[in-house]
C-alpha cells in the first residue's frame, strides 16, 4: 500500500492509524472514507457524493474501530491518532447486506421496468454485496410519480432518500427546491414544500438533481427502460471550480 507522495509545501500525512491491519499515515482531519479511498481500500457508499456536504444517512460506509462499540460512519468520522480501523469484516458485510435489503424492501425497486437498470448504484450495491434476494417482507408501497415537470420525472417508488438531490440543489445550484417531508417510513421527497415539481417556480431546470440520483428516482423525461444514465461525478468538478473561484472575474474587462 503506497501513500500519497508528500506534496511540496503542503501538509503531509502525519496521523498514524491502522487501516485493515496495516500501519498508515492519515492527514490531520481526514475522514476514514477519504483515507480508505486514498489508499485504495474500497468502502461502499450510497448517500455520500464528492462535492456535497456529508449526510451520513445510508449507513453503508460503517466501519469497525477498536474500542468503539458503535459502528462509526466512515464518511463523517475524522481519523484520530492510533485508531485501529477495519473496513471489511464478516459482520460489516452482513450489516451492509441488511441495509441494502431494507432499501429494496421499502420501495418498489423493480429493476426490470426501471429507466436506470444497468446504471444504478443500488443495483450495483446489491450485486457487489451478494444480495440475491430480500429476507424482509417487501412493502410494495403505493407512491405517486411526479411527471409534472416538462423535462424531468420523479418516481418516488425508486427513491432511497439519500438526499443527494436536496443537497446539490441547495449547495451547488443554490435553488433549494427539494426537501424531505414527513418522518420515518413516511419520509418523502417534495418540491417547494409539497408542490408538483412542474409548479415549483424556484426550479431552474438545471438538472443537477437528476445527474446525481443514484437510482431511477430522478430521470430525464422520455427515457425508456435501461436508457437513463446519470453523471454524479460532475458535481465534484463543479465544486472544485467553485472552491477555486473559477467563476469570479479576476480582472475587470477593459471598457
List residues binding another protein (CB under 8 A).
Answer: 104, 108-114, 117-118, 120, 123, 126-127, 130-134, 137-138, 140-143, 226
Of residues 3 and 110, the one with the C-beta less far from another protein: 110
Of residues 143 and 239, the one with the C-beta less far from another protein: 143
Q: Taking the complex as a whole, how short is the minimal distance between the CB of residue 207 and another protein, in angstroms?
A: 24
Q: Taking the complex as a whole, how short is the minimal distance between the CB of residue 149 and another protein, in angstroms?
A: 23
Q: Taking the complex as a whole, how short is the minimal distance between the CB of residue 13 and another protein, in angstroms?
A: 34
Q: Taking the complex as a whole, how short is the minimal distance between the CB of residue 118 and another protein, in angstroms?
A: 7
Contact 208, 173 (CB under 8 A): yes
**Nearest-angstrom CA–CA distance, 239 and 125:** 26
Of residues 107 and 232, the one with the C-beta less far from another protein: 107
Of residues 31 and 129, the one with the C-beta less far from another protein: 129
Of residues 48 and 104, the one with the C-beta less far from another protein: 104
Q: Taking the complex as a whole, how short is the minimal distance between the CB of residue 115 and another protein, in angstroms?
A: 11
Amino acid at each position: 500500500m503506497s501513500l500519497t507522495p508528500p506534496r511540496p509545501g503542503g501538509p503531509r500525512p502525519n496521523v498514524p492509524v491502522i487501516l485493515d491491519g496495516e500501519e498508515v499515515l492519515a492527514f490531520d482531519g481526514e475522514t476514514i472514507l477519504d483515507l480508505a479511498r486514498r489508499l485504495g481500500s474500497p468502502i461502499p457508499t450510497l448517500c455520500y457524493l464528492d462535492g456535497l456536504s456529508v449526510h451520513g444517512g445510508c449507513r453503508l460506509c460503517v466501519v469497525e474501530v477498536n474500542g468503539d462499540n458503535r459502528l462509526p460512519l466512515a464518511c463523517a468520522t475524522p481519523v484520530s491518532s492510533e485508531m485501529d480501523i477495519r473496513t471489511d469484516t464478516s459482520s460489516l458485510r452482513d450489516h451492509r447486506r441488511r441495509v441494502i435489503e431494507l432499501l429494496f424492501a421499502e420501495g418498489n425497486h423493480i429493476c426490470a421496468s426501471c429507466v436506470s437498470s444497468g446504471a444504478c448504484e443500488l443495483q450495483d450495491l446489491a450485486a457487489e454485496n451478494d444480495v440475491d434476494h430480500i429476507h424482509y417482507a417487501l412493502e410494495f408501497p403505493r407512491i405517486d410519480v411526479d411527471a409534472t415537470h416538462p423535462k424531468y420525472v420523479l418516481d418516488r417508488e425508486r427513491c432511497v432518500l439519500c438526499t443527494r438531490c436536496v443537497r446539490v440543489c441547495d449547495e451547488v445550484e443554490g435553488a433549494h427546491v427539494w426537501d424531505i417531508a414527513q418522518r420515518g417510513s413516511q419520509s418523502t421527497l417534495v418540491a417547494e414544500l409539497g408542490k408538483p415539481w412542474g409548479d415549483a417556480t424556484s426550479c431552474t431546470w438545471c438538472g443537477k438533481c437528476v445527474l446525481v440520483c443514484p437510482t431511477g428516482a430522478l430521470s430525464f423525461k422520455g427515457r425508456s427502460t435501461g436508457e437513463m444514465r446519470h453523471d454524479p461525478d460532475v458535481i465534484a468538478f463543479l465544486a472544485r471550480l467553485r472552491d477555486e473561484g473559477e467563476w469570479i472575474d479576476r480582472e475587470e474587462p477593459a471598457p
